[in-house]
Structure 1
Amino acid sequence: MDSYTHYLLLFFLASLYLHTSNLCFCLGDELPSSVNSCIEEERRALLSFKKDVTDPSGRLSSWVGHECCRWRGISCNNRTGRAAKLDLRNTYTSHREYEQSCLGGKLNPSLLGLKHLAYLDLSSNCFQEIPNFFGQLTSLRYLNLSRLSSSFLGGEIPSSLGNLSNLNYLDLSWNLLFGGKNLNWLSHLSSLKYLNLGSVDLSSTGVSWLQDVNMLPSLLELYLSRCQIQNLSLSLPSINFTSLLVLDMSGNEIKSSFIPKWIFNLTSLKKLDLSSNSFSGSFPDEFASLTSLEHLDLEEIGLHGQLPKFIGNLCKLKFLSLGANKFDGGIHEFLSGFSNCSFKIMESLDLSHNDFNGAIPKSLGQLSQLVSLDLRGNSWEGTLTEAHFINLTSLESLLMTTNQPEGIIFNFANYEWIPPFKLREIEMDNCRVGPGFPVWLQSQTELTFLALTNAGISGGIPEEWLFKTSSYITILDLSENNISGKLPFRFNFPNVEFIELSHNRFNGPLQLLSTNMPVLQALTLSYNYLNGTIPSSICSIQSLNRLSLGNNQLSGKFPQEWGLWSNIESLDVSNNNLSGNIPTSMGIPTSLEILNMENNHFSGEIPSALQNCSSFNRLYLGGNKFTGSIPFWIGSLVPFLNVLQLRSNLLSGHIPEHLCNLPYLHILDLGHNNFSGTIPKCLINLTSLVHATSAWPILPGHASTTVTLKGRELEYGQNSIRYLTIIDLSSNNLLGEIPEEISSLLVLGTLNLSMNQLSGTIPSKIGNLQLLETLDLSQNQLSGQIPQSLSSLTFLSHLNLSHNNLIGRIPTGNQLQTLDNSSYEGNPLLCGFPLSTKCHEDGDDKPHAEENKDHEDNDEKIGLYTSVVLGFIIGFWSVCGTLIMNKSWRYAYFQFFDNIKDKVALAIALKVARYQRKV
């Protein structure tokens, strides 16, 4: 028998041993069976166990009478009648079922009375601890305590489990916050073949856990997923668990410059999962030695460079995931490597979310056994033809997107070509399959997942094809195309959960029947041309939790039947022509988190019924005709609000201080209303604007909202808006000074207080807002100088201080040098760049109060100059007038100057004669 056959047989036997429901425990004749009789001692032990167990769904209701071997979850040995198997795992299929069928309470030591118990499964229940007495159940071969509790257990794994020397199978996974400071007890489990410690906190063990696991020579499968392991021994003196077939260390915190060498010595490995760790470097050459690999998952571990050709030599590889790394270049060489194999058995290939580029080679079609292909999130370009798919007869999942502007073009020479596969899933973005729905796509009639976004499709949806697929589809996404016609909801979609048809050209009324889509959870029809009213029948879809009808032409009132939605979480009807008051029934579904009704014609006051929605996350009511004041419940009863947008309404009164009780608020937009009074100083309590916090969760769909930034109205998607931090109180009647406390909102990106009646000076510490991009204080009555600290802002790209009473020199530095003079116009006493008005020559900025003194100094100088001129004139004519009037004085005066002239002329002549002689 060759080594490959040996390992294959070993793996088959191990899998059969571990995963069959009636496990063989190597007990000779003592095999579990359906024996009806029962040992009395064991019956009493089971009843004692039942007495301490809470059983909300009555799962142990059959535990009555004397035939305990027929009780639910009990199997006995057919020869001795001893209880050999106790299987009480919770087989729930939903969260609600889990809560209803979860066993809890105390685990009674009476189980020790089952001295021949070989199989114990208490997984997925609500017990709160692993008791120490389990270490005395020494007959156990199989112990499954995974997901033992619905809450965080805490504490340590009992070291007494090390006494179970006969144990072959141990699963303690998914007991959150359950830890192990050391795993020394593992070394006693020499017969262990399967060990799962997934999610058990092993961070405090350092690297010693590896030495403990290395003491298990029989180990075949090892699962250590999400165990908070931070370090790995880079080498081992000797490896004892060389028979290991499965190693899963995914989702840890391992940081290493390379994958440890000892892993490549596990040459029997059939499955290796190192995904979601932090290794680095290129694809290791040592993988070439793991020729037995059938499953290799290296997703999101930080590898980079080009894929080596030798991967194709791993001829047993069926599953390969290299997604979310930094691989680049083309994949032609990589795929050509598979031609070295005498047969190609690859079933799943994931190259998603890397930096691959270029054309997708035709050699992809060599992988004839391929079932799942994921090429999303790369920079593919070029054309795909029939040759790429002609041999992919087993393909069921095709996922392909590109971020290149020109996209991927599907160009089949034969328009009527029908591929050899039957897809279950298809997801394409920026892949041009249009202009119509091609024949190859219409041949796929068993689709459960259909997503063709930005595919260049126009025209109507073929009804015959949609009729055939509607009974299978669970997700339908045809957004960002030019599909026209009526909505395709006259067909039954019994399994559809998600419909996304936004950014198309659907028209006509919105007609929905709850009976057609009984399990629909999300419906997005925004950015179309739908008209008419919102039908009340839509409120009968009980399972619906997200509805987006924004940017259509809907009119009329909002349906009163809203209260029928018990699970609704997000509603978007923005940018329509809806009118009337918000119905009071809006407050009945307390599950509501996001409400977007902006830019309609709603009127009346904001209803108090909305205070019941205590989970409110975002509230958009701007662009309507709401009146009255901001209700008290905003800031008092909805503490988790991230966005409050009430701009462009008819609201009045003061800005209430209870808004300061919203610690998670990122956006406060009250602009274009009739608010009066002062700006509350307590805005400093908006802690999300003081300290950086993690971004809000990403939400599905294409909903958007309008935000005024940098002097313009911009449209942001519901996920991009989560990064904005804004206070906008513009176009109101606010008075008083700008509170100095605003300078403490260090995370603020936009501050707009324009078009009010604010006075006083700009806060001197405004430069503390280092993340500020937009500052608009225009059209107020602010005075004084522009604070020098403003020049320290390095992100500022929009500044408007125009039409105030500011004076003095404009500060210079950083972003201020890139702004034009429109930022400062309407302030006649400002000077310096970029204005044409020059400041005083000495560079000193003189305040307005000193300018009168300058004028007085100028008057004094003019008087001085006048006195000097008059004195000169009087002195001159005093001398000259005497000479003119007295002849003798005149002769003597001119005779004196003649004598002086002659003496000067003689002296000059003598000097010139001497110079000439020297020359």
Structure 2
Amino acid sequence: MHYFSLNFLLLVFIQAFLANCCIEHERDALLAFKAGVNDTSSRLASWSGENCCNWAGIRCNNQTGHVVKLNLRNTNYYYADRIYHSLIGKISPSLIFLSDLKYLDLSFNNFTGSKFPEFIGAFRNLKYLNLSHTGLSGTIPPQLGNLSRLMYLDLSNYVEYEYLLNQYSIVFMLNTDTWWLPNLRNLKHMEMSGVDFKDSNVWVETLNKLSSLEVLVLYNNNLTHIPQSIPFVNFTSLKVLHLSEQNFNTTIPIWVGSLHSLNVLTLEECNLVGPYPTTLGNLTSLNKLALNYNSLVGMVPPLHSLTKLTDLSLYGNNIEGDIRELLLGKLSNYTLGNLEYLDLSSTNLSGTLTGWITDMTSITHLALYYNNLSGTIPIDIGNLTNLVYLDLGWNSFTCLLSEAHLTSLLNLKVLYLDENNITILVDSDWTPSFQLNTIWLSSCKLGPKFPSWLRRQVEIQDLGLTDMGIDGSIPNWLWSLSSLSYLDLSTNLLRGKLPASLVHMTKLVSINLNNNRLEGKIPFLPTSLKFLYLSNNSLSGQLRKNRKSPYKNKPIVLNNNTVETVELFPCGLTSLYYLDLSSNSLSGQLLPCWSNISGVVNLANNRLSGVVPSSLSCSVTLSVLQLANNILTGEFPFDLQFCSGLQLLDLGENNFQGTIPDWVGESFQQLQILRLRSNLFSGNIPTKLTQLNNLLFLDLSNNYLSGPLPRGLNNFTSMSQLFSLTISYYDTIVIVITKGLILEYDSQDFKFLKSMDLSNNNLTGEIPKEIVALAGLFNLNLSHNQLIGNIPLEIGNMTSLESLDFHKNNLSGTIPQSMSNLYSLAVLNFSYNNLSGSIPNGHQLQTLNDPSIYSGNPYLCGPPLETSCDISVRLPQSDGFLLVFFILLFKVKWRYTYFQMVDSMLERVYVMGVIIRRQNNWVVAHYNCLWPNSSPNHRCTLQLIKIQTVS
């Protein structure tokens, strides 16, 4: 007995010792891992000393002392800045010595550029593996199939940035075949978003072998195939199925209706088509059904049996029916009363809110945005006391909204009523019973006074009062709302001055005051600002840096009496993404601080002068630069070549001079819009410009460019395509001169903006035949140049043309008959050339019956001109003329003397008689030609003055 006690005490002592002291080679392995990473925020500061079991993120087995858990998940990450608190570097293979590891989590750290570590497959005891959002690349090794005890697997590498940054999701692809997955027979939870499945056609059949699987999350996997049926559904344990951002292009599969254990079904943005399957009604365990952003059509099938449903989201499909039929006809009263989350936005639903909305006693989130709903908002909407989120924007409601509608909504946080015909009628002294963080009332009737009741909404973050007829100044209390992040007061009648400083608004991300009547100086701005819209006001000031920058010494109090200049450019605004100060009265020179802006700069329509700084530091993520209609000088800004991410560059209406550099065609491979019109550029159009394959819009008009048009115009492949492209600019406007009109195109219409304007230059030579390959152009203008030769015969291939202008050149030959293929042509001008022959007719050309289209071409005939094409020219017969011709042909000196005499005579003589024959009559006409010394072009007209019979 005594012997047993001693052994027991010894065992306890050994276990206690092991529990407080890790194994040496495992400690060395962890230190090797630490040495291979950059610990940006000292998260591994405790990794020192002998006992690794006490280190942060480490847990050891109490009996053996082996490390069984390594959890270094970065819990302080931001999606927009993944470096924050991340471990940066590589995953050391030394970790293979942690042979008893059961739990490994390195998620949300930064191992970008590293290959997926194959040695992970050696951890045979591993039950939990999370390497998500780590930037790993390459192929997922099949050795992971050795982890037969694994229950949780997350290899997602799909990080979605804030949508307002106008940056698309960043995906680090991990290519994989799926054949090894069935070996993970104990797997219950699998997330592999962002992993490229190599367009596998058997992924469903493979995963169907995992009978224990309960959670499956797959986002953006390049999947294009999903079978409509499978012989036997084996993964019936599934409780959560998330499939999103795939490209199936098929109907919802039948076998989905066999997953009777499903609590959550999310099939968002999968390009699903066709009707909603009736089998959805079989999923009686569903709590959440989300089919957003697909192309499903028709009314939803009966879902009466889904009595556990609390979350229904069908956003972006085309139900196209009455909302009452959907909610009262397809759901049970029990389900309607239990719904907590309902999103039917953008589903083309019609009807009213009456007769059903008060039955939704549990609703917290109600979104009916962008439909055809009409009528009034019932006053008993106030009975929905659980309501937190209400979005009725972009419908056709016509009603009054009073305090009685809103008083009982104690929990309301988000209210969207924008783009309706709603009059908000509340007392100016009203104190709401709720505290909103988002309110959007754009286009509702609320003015003319600024709504003072908003003063008591101290938690407001997003405030949108666009186009509401608000007149007067912005109240000072608005600038004291410290929680404000997004402010939009655009398109009102706001007057007065802005505060001298807004640096105290440390949460302000976006401010939009476009299209008002504000004046004075632009304030000092907070460093948190990403979006600044102040266009179309009367703001003034110079673009020179204030020596007393508010960003160096905070806090700072400024007033209008102490501010003489304004630091407009973002030398201190490190977060700025969008800057729009266009259409004001700003003057001065530009500052070289552009490297801080990663998106859009618009300073067009001001009075900026001087040269673009040679020290310009351009961010590669700058996508839009608009400096049009200023007084800027100098040559094409050299440092712009480092702005390789530019998609839109507009330097038009300035005084830039010199040549267009070759590197424009090499550096701007993303460029889609290039506008240099109305400057002083000279020299040739560089041939390398045709390397801009993405170019949709080119305007070099009103310059002094010379030489021939470059060959290789067919390399503008985006101009050749007939289909419309998606362009990612945000709130940008481009001025286009076409069809004789000055038009404004905003970013939503840029996909139709395929145009080439080279007019009003000194271009010479022929029109290259390759130009007819640009079948997507809607506007082509080569007028006011010195082009010669024929119009390309296949110009009719440019079937998208709506406007074609070749006037005031020296083009000759006939007008190609293929012109009759231009069915969209609305504006045409071939005047003042040397074209001859009959004018083509047929189709759209017959509607262009203005004779001025063809004036100044004396040898053209046929409608719409009065000159008939049956007139033939009769020349005098003279052997003497032939003699003179041959003498001039062989006597060079005589030929020079003769033509000098003719040129001299033509400068003094402007009228020459011509006799032509029309049927049996002779027509005496005046053929008038003018060659002014000041112009390289001539103008000829044919006038009939007399008809007489000749026997």
Common topology (TM > 0.5) = yes
1:274 is aligned, of 267, 274, 281, to 267
SS in 2 for 1:277: coil
> In 2 relative to 1, CA 57–97 (structure 1 residues): closer, same or farther, beyond 3 Å?
farther
Q: CA deviation at 1:778?
A: 1.1
Residue 198 in 1 paired to residue 193 in 2? yes
Which of 100, 113, 127 is 1:141 aligned to? 127
SS in 2 for 1:388: helix
For residue 682 of structure 1, report the CA deviation from its aligned partner. 4.5
Does the alignment pair 1:502 with 2:488? no
The yes-or-no answer on 1:408 pairing with 2:420 is yes
Does residue 679 of structure 1 match 2:709? Answer: yes
Q: Hey, what does 1:542 align to over in structure 2?
A: 574
Please report how far the alpha carbon of residue 323 of structure 1 lies from its aligned counterpart in structure 2 after TM superposition: 1.0
Question: Which residue of structure 2 lines up, in the alignment, with residue 519 of structure 1?
Answer: 528
Aligned to 1:11: none
Match of 1:530 in 2: 539
Displacement of 1:707 after TM fit? 0.8
Say which SS state the counterpart of residue 295 (structure 2) adopts. Answer: coil
- State the shift of 1:591 in Å: 5.3
SS in 1 for 2:786: coil
- Aligned residue for 2:325, secondary structure, equals helix
* Contact 2:714–2:771 (8 Å) recurs in 1: yes
Counterpart of 2:854? 824
1:625 match: secondary structure: coil
What is the Cα deviation at residue 322 of structure 1?
Answer: 0.8
- C-alpha deviation, 1:69, in angstroms: 0.7
> Any conservation in 2 of the 1:382–1:409 contact (CA below 8 Å)?
no
**What's the counterpart of residue 332 of structure 1?**
324
CA distance change for structure 1 residues 96 and 224 in 2, over 3 Å: closer, same or farther? closer
Look up the match of 1:450.
463
Change over 3 Å in CA distance of 1:831–1:418 after alignment to 2: farther
Residue 805 in structure 1 maps to residue 834 in structure 2: yes
Choose which of 735, 740, 747 in structure 1 pairs with 2:776.
747
Q: Tell me which moved more, 804-813 or 598-607.
A: 598-607
Query: Partners in 2 of 1:825 and 1:32 — Cα distance?
Result: 105
Check conservation: 2:376, 2:398, Cα contact below 8 A: no
The amino acid of 2:438's aligned partner reads E
Matches within 5 A, 1:554-569: 554-559=585-590, 561-563=591-593, 566-569=596-599
Q: Which residue of 2 aligns with 1:114?
A: 98
Q: Which amino acid in structure 2 is aligned with residue 597 of structure 1?
A: L
**Aligned amino acid, residue 737 of structure 2:** T
CA distance in 1, matches of 2:870, 2:771: 33
In structure 1, what residue type is equivalent to 2:191?
Answer: N
| 8 Å contact kept, 2:274–2:296 | yes
Q: Which amino acid aligns with 2:339?
A: M
Distance in 2, matches of 1:456 and 1:303, equals 39
Residue aligned with 1:543, SS:
coil
Cα offset, 1:512, TM superposition? 1.4
Superposition deviation, residue 341 in structure 1: 1.9
C-alpha deviation, 1:719, in angstroms:
4.2
**Conservation of the 8 A alpha-carbon contact between 1:672 and 1:730:** yes
Opposite residue 161 of structure 1, the aligned amino acid is L
| Matched letter for residue 478 of structure 1 | L
Instruction: Answer yes or no: is 1:350 the counterpart of 2:343.
Output: yes
Structure 1 SS opposite 2:831:
coil
Alignment of 1:596 onto 2:579? no
Question: SS at 2:765's partner residue?
Answer: coil
Q: Residues 654-683 of structure 1, C-alpha deviation per residue, up to 9 Å, x if partnerless?
A: 434443443333222121223333333344
For 2:95 and 2:623, locate their aligned partners in 1 and report how far apart those are by CA, in whole Å. 47
- Residue among 370, 395, 398 paired with 1:377: 370
**Aligned pair in 2 of structure 1 residues 342, 715: CA closer, same or farther (>3 Å)?**
closer
Q: Distance in 1 between matches of 2:636 and 2:921?
A: 69
The separation in 2 between residues aligned to 1:39 and 1:167, in whole angstroms, is 24
Change (3 A) 1:771 1:859: closer
TM-score normalised according to structure 1 size: 0.80
Q: Which residue of structure 2 aligns with residue 756 of structure 1?
A: 785
**Residue 475 (structure 1) aligned with residue 486 (structure 2):** yes
Q: Distance in 1 between matches of 2:706 and 2:90?
A: 59
- 1:458 and 1:322, CA in 2 relative to 1: closer, same or farther beyond 3 A? farther
1:817 is displaced (CA, Å) by 1.6
Letter in 1 for 2:54: R
Structure 1 residues 379 and 826 mapped into 2: Cα distance closer, same or farther (>3 Å)?
farther
CA distance, structure 2, for counterparts of residue 698 and residue 722 of structure 1: 10
Distance in 1 (alpha carbons) for counterparts of 2:102 and 2:195: 24
Correspondence for 2:439 among 426, 432, 435: 426
Please give the TM-score of this superposition, normalised by the length of structure 2: 0.77
AA paired with 1:711?
G
**Partner Cα separation in structure 1 for residue 390 and residue 152 of structure 2:** 34
The one-letter code of the counterpart of 2:83 is Y
Correspondence for 2:249:
255
Give the Å deviation of 1:418: 6.0
Between structures 1 and 2, the one with greater strand share: 2
Q: Distance in 1 between matches of 2:422 and 2:749?
A: 31
Over 3 Å counting, the alpha-carbon distance change for 1:260 and 1:759 in structure 2 is closer
For 2:740, give the aligned amino acid. Answer: G
Measure the CA separation in 1 of the matches of 2:665 and 2:20: 65
CA gap of 1:859–1:829, structure 2 versus 1, over 3 A, is closer
Question: Is the partner of 1:786 in helix, strand or coil?
Answer: coil
Alignment of 1:172 onto 2:202: no
CA offset at residue 195 of structure 1? 1.6
| 1:664 has 2:694 as partner | yes
Could you report, residue by residue, the CA deviation over 1:623-642 in whole angstroms, capped at 9, with x for unpaired residues?
A: 23334443455335444433
- Which residue number corresponds to residue 793 of structure 1? 822
Q: 2: distance between equivalents of 1:171 and 1:365? A: 42
Cα RMSD after superposing both structures: 3.8
Structure 1 residue aligned with 2:410? none
Does residue 752 of structure 2 align to residue 723 of structure 1?
Answer: yes
Provide the identity percentage.
39
- Tell me by how many angstroms 1:298 deviates: 0.3
Distance 1:751 1:248, change over 3 A: same
Tell me by how many angstroms 1:456 deviates.
Answer: 4.5
CA distance in 1 between partners of 2:437 and 2:359 (Å): 21
- Decide whether the 8 Å contact of 2:724 with 2:752 is kept in 1: no
What's the secondary structure of 1:575's corresponding residue? Answer: coil
More helix by share: 1
Alignment of 1:81-160 (within 5 A): 81-91=65-75, 92-93=77-78, 97-98=82-83, 101-105=86-90, 107-108=92-93, 110-124=94-108, 125-126=110-111, 128-150=114-136, 152-153=137-138, 155-158=139-142, 160=143
Distance 1:279 1:418, change over 3 A: farther
Q: How much has 1:35 moved relative to structure 2?
A: 5.3
Q: Which amino acid aligns with 1:262?
A: W
Q: Report if aligned partners of 1:307, 1:331 keep a CA contact under 8 Å in 2.
A: no
Q: In the alignment, what sits opposite 2:583?
A: 551
Distance 1:284 1:342, change over 3 A: closer
SS in structure 1 of the partner of residue 148 of structure 2? coil
Equivalent residue, structure 1, for 2:209: 215
Alpha-carbon distance change, 756 to 849 in structure 1, aligned in 2, over 3 angstroms: farther
Measured in 1, the distance between the counterparts of 2:66 and 2:275 equals: 57
Give deviations 1:376-396, integer Å, cap 9, x for gaps. 332334443543345244314
Which residue in 1 is equivalent to 2:313?
Answer: 321
Q: Aligned partners of 2:30, 2:207: CA distance in 1, in Å?
A: 34
Is the contact between residue 647 and residue 672 of structure 1 (CA under 8 Å) also seen in structure 2? yes
Partner of 2:818: helix, strand, or coil?
A: helix
Instruction: Tell which deviates more after alignment, 831-840 or 651-660.
Output: 651-660
SS in 2 for 1:537: coil
1:76 is matched with 60
CA distance in 1, matches of 2:17, 2:784: 84
Tell me which amino acid in the other structure corresponds to 2:527.
P
Runs of 5+ consecutive residues of structure 1 not aligned to the other structure? 1-29, 863-868, 871-919
